[in-house]
Structure 1
Amino acid sequence: MQIKAKNNLGLIFFPAFDWSISPTHPEREERLLYTKDQVLEEGLLDIEGIKEYNPLVATEDDVNRTHICIPDAKSIISKPHLISAGGAIKAAELVMQKEVDKAFAIIRPPGHHAFRVVHGARGFCTINNEAIMVEYLRNKYDSDLKIAFVDTDAHHADGTQNIYYNDPNILHISIHQDGRTLFPGTGFTDELGGPGAWGRTINLPLPTNTTDQGLHYALDNLILPILDDFDPDLIINAAGQDNHYSDPLTRMNITAQGYAELNDKLDPDLAILQGGYSIESALPYINTGIMLAMAGLDYSYIQEPDYDPTVKEQPAKITDTIKQRTNKLITSWQKRDKIDLQDEFPIKNINGEDYHINHRNIFYDTSQLREEQEIKIKICDDCSGVMIIDSQVRPHSMGETRSIILPFDVCNECRQLGYDKYEASKQDFSAVYLQDKVGDKLLTNL
């Protein structure tokens, strides 16, 4: 009897044969080849309602809509990066055009460590595939789309958080191994969003050796209630798989069944592959489980060859820590619209304009660069505010650069301010960029 998927599922595979950091690096093309073999062996593409599609090729405009690449996109990205981002865009288009119910982009290079301003590669990521996809959708369909990210990678999704930290229409949830024990060392419960979107960023750092039990406690008691409350138009699972018990880079104990059940409960519209470096022992089984769950099919038989039931046992101390952090985050979410911005964000008046200012030091572990940023966000009652990022990178700095970002909800006054700042800054910085979301353009004086 022909099996039929409950949900029509689109799959996009892009293994990027011609891109790797090195032939033996964990982030290499074999990551996806074993998964493709498993999909063919299981006969998933023979199931009615599951279909494979080719990726698109993203354009430089798609990249510039999301990132400010310094000195420019051509100098930073390669063709595989554009195809990987295009794979995410293709997945989203399939869903938006109602050609499928859900889509899973199984792509590389990954993207969730790529910040808004890009000087090179960090955390194996250069450009942010899922953010490029979201900005494409908001530009083409509706800038008011409410979108929720649930990032399940073991590493904190610091790049996606950076891009959407002050965006009120984007909910970004990251559950990850505690940053005190793993790159990038961020993603703590007090990172809750900028002055224009406080509470729309949720970080749950999980203790090392968290099992399916802890993951699903967080899902049932934190993530799903917040999603119900936020009521997004789209749910995206940034589907990192390096929480698996066999992953060589992390110290977590999630199983393929745990991942599949997560996607069953989460019911995402889109899944975009992130990390996961147990190439033979984990990824083929996790990805197959995710596909079956998204298609609404039975995934109960999916099991790793070395599976041992004891891997699901979790010490009470880990459970208690997750409960405490979950309770803290639920409280923060419930008071998100009731806080006094003055209490949460120190404000400095500059020439009659109020700004929240913070500083960030960013390490590009892949490119071995160090960046210093000063970020100013204008406090505005009518929009989320102009953002100004002054950046300098070493060792091969081109001098201090300034990036001015006008958000989708920018008011007329802040929009004019942004253009005035762009013109006035040209004499003081080696390069000035203006990213205008409403006008869909990136200006630079280079």
Structure 2
Amino acid sequence: MKDQCAFVYSEEQLNYKFSSHHPFNQFRLKLTVDLLERLHALDPKQIVPPRIATEEELSLIHDPSYIEAVKKAGSGLLANEVAENYGLGTEDTPIFTNMHEASSLLVGGTLTAVDEVMSGRVLHAVNLGGGLHHGFRGKASGFCVYNDSAVAIKYIQKKYNARVLYIDTDAHHGDGVQWAFYDDPNVCTLSIHETGRYLFPGTGNVNERGQGAGYGFSFNIPVDAFTEDESWLDTYTQAFREIAEFFKPDIILTQNGADSHYYDPLTHLSATMKIYREIPRLAHEIAHRYCGGKWIAVGGGGYDIWRVVPRAWAMIWLEMTENSHLLSSFPADWVAHWQPQAPVKLPQEWDDPEDIYPIIPRKAEITEKNLITLEKALYPIRSRQKSETKTTESF
């Protein structure tokens, strides 16, 4: 399995940088790669450099006028009032030099991962520089200029004629990808996220199920604030298994935002590293069960770049390459090297301590609420199964 995985990466992916104080910090990529290298888990032969997506490829999802606006913005040629119409120059998505080139490279990285898998060169591929799921056809949103996952899915459809199951475990709703395929029955999306009651983008309600021919192919599970590991994993496991069995995809694309962790400064969930062990493990299992192993993973959110993201994202690669045994010990030399630069105390272990946060008094209530939400989200599948069972029994 080790020689059947591709790690898409180059330091040029760090050029997607809004400012030194912006919470979206691609330095987390370098920290993750260094962690894997110190584990001797990443062979240089497995690293595939990303290419830049062409404008034609970007136009699979994005409006040409928007692409032109991004190009002008990155060259300092777009008026502020025009930029705002495209979601550029905002507090969330500030303009930076060469924005188009940096954004196109992130999209191209995910397209590189797609071609590696769909050509048969590898079974699994990861592009941690991707996962920018909030980008819309004609507007930037939530730190995302171009939507690499949406472009990649459309690219897969056009070039490989495959049915895609998109799984989004970012704490924020995967709105840009959902709306891009809301009426498409050949793309199934599942987003498990913190309820939009308190968190951007405020969408992802359980009743957002798709429209037209795509009705019943969009699934959303908005979990309650302060949700802990057990409830989150129960939701993830049941939903992923049942939706995969229902949809039977040709390929799985997972978005792996690492911002559901208790330490994340922008969200309100109470997950620990336990969920980041399980997220890729189940994706790996499901990919082999339904897709002959075809699995692409991208990054996403994650704003505690020192304590959370490197560990969470390293676990994806260790699962892909069947090197999970390396999780038995954490590399002390990684901690020693980066601690002088880190503003927080770095972890000494892969897992978090049991007392990472105070006891949450509403745990039972939150768990029950999440179970009800899960039931509502999966109702179309479960009701269909009951109907089919009754029909079979009648014969």
Structure 2 length-normalised TM: 0.77
Q: 1:97 pairs with 113, 119, 122, which one? A: 119
Distance 1:14 1:243 in 2: 26
Question: CA shift at 1:311, angstroms?
Answer: 4.6
Distance 1:253 1:337 in 2: 33
Question: CA shift at 1:335, angstroms?
Answer: 5.1
Matched, 1:25 2:52: no
Secondary structure, aligned partner of 1:136: helix
Secondary structure, aligned partner of 1:309: coil
Secondary structure, aligned partner of 1:107: coil
Counterpart for residue 205 of structure 2 = 188
Counterpart for residue 406 of structure 1 = none
| Percent of residue pairs identical | 29
Question: CA shift at 1:37, angstroms?
Answer: 1.5
Q: Say whether the 8 Å CA contact 2:25–2:303 is kept in structure 1.
A: no
RMSD: 2.4
CA displacement, residues 157-185 of structure 1 (integer Å, 9 cap, x when unaligned): 11111101111100000000110010001
Tell me whether 233-242 or 324-333 shows the greater mean CA deviation: 324-333
Matches within 5 A, 1:10-409: 10-15=6-11, 16-46=13-43, 51-69=46-64, 71-77=65-71, 78-107=100-129, 110-115=131-136, 117-119=137-139, 121-142=140-161, 145-267=162-284, 268=287, 269-298=295-324, 300-301=327-328, 304-305=347-348, 307-311=352-356, 315-334=363-382
Q: Which segments of 5 or more consecutive residues in structure 1 lack a partner in the other structure?
A: 339-446
Describe the shift of the 1:147–1:7 C-alpha distance in structure 2 as closer, same or farther (beyond 3 A): farther
Distance 2:199 2:318 in 1: 30
Counterpart for residue 430 of structure 1 = none
**The structure with more radius of gyration:** 1
Q: Say whether the 8 Å CA contact 2:14–2:29 is kept in structure 1.
A: no
Q: Say whether the 8 Å CA contact 1:118–1:126 is kept in structure 2.
A: no
CA displacement, residues 252-274 of structure 1 (integer Å, 9 cap, x when unaligned): 12223321212111225010111
CA displacement, residues 294-351 of structure 1 (integer Å, 9 cap, x when unaligned): 222225437743721245977111211111111111212345799xxxxxxxxxxxxx
CA displacement, residues 379-403 of structure 1 (integer Å, 9 cap, x when unaligned): xxxxxxxxxxxxxxxxxxxxxxxxx
Describe the shift of the 1:263–1:302 C-alpha distance in structure 2 as closer, same or farther (beyond 3 A): farther
Describe the shift of the 1:13–1:224 C-alpha distance in structure 2 as closer, same or farther (beyond 3 A): same
The one-letter code matched in structure 2 to 1:135 is K
Q: Say whether the 8 Å CA contact 1:147–1:169 is kept in structure 2.
A: yes
Distance 1:112 1:36 in 2: 22
- By relative contact order (CA 8 Å, sep 6+), the higher-ranking structure is 2
Secondary structure, aligned partner of 1:162: helix
Distance 2:103 2:243 in 1: 32
Question: CA shift at 1:72, angstroms?
Answer: 4.2
Distance 1:181 1:57 in 2: 36
Question: CA shift at 1:30, angstroms?
Answer: 1.5
The one-letter code matched in structure 2 to 1:68 is D
Distance 1:101 1:155 in 2: 28
Secondary structure, aligned partner of 2:151: helix
Q: Say whether the 8 Å CA contact 1:111–1:130 is kept in structure 2.
A: yes
Structure 1 length-normalised TM: 0.69
Secondary structure, aligned partner of 1:225: helix
Q: Say whether the 8 Å CA contact 2:41–2:323 is kept in structure 1.
A: no
Moved over 6 A (4+): none
Q: Say whether the 8 Å CA contact 1:247–1:278 is kept in structure 2.
A: yes
Distance 2:329 2:102 in 1: 31
Q: Say whether the 8 Å CA contact 2:135–2:145 is kept in structure 1.
A: yes
Question: CA shift at 1:84, angstroms?
Answer: 0.5
Q: Which segments of 5 or more consecutive residues in structure 2 lack a partner in the other structure?
A: 72-99, 288-294, 331-346, 387-395
CA displacement, residues 79-115 of structure 1 (integer Å, 9 cap, x when unaligned): 011110000001111111111110110115x520012
Q: Say whether the 8 Å CA contact 2:262–2:270 is kept in structure 1.
A: yes
The one-letter code matched in structure 2 to 1:305 is Q
Q: Say whether the 8 Å CA contact 1:9–1:51 is kept in structure 2.
A: yes
Distance 2:43 2:59 in 1: 39
Secondary structure, aligned partner of 2:46: strand
Q: Say whether the 8 Å CA contact 2:126–2:317 is kept in structure 1.
A: yes
Secondary structure, aligned partner of 1:44: coil
Describe the shift of the 1:131–1:309 C-alpha distance in structure 2 as closer, same or farther (beyond 3 A): same
Q: Say whether the 8 Å CA contact 1:14–1:87 is kept in structure 2.
A: no
Work out the number of aligned pairs and report it: 327
Distance 1:337 1:124 in 2: 40
Question: CA shift at 1:206, angstroms?
Answer: 1.0
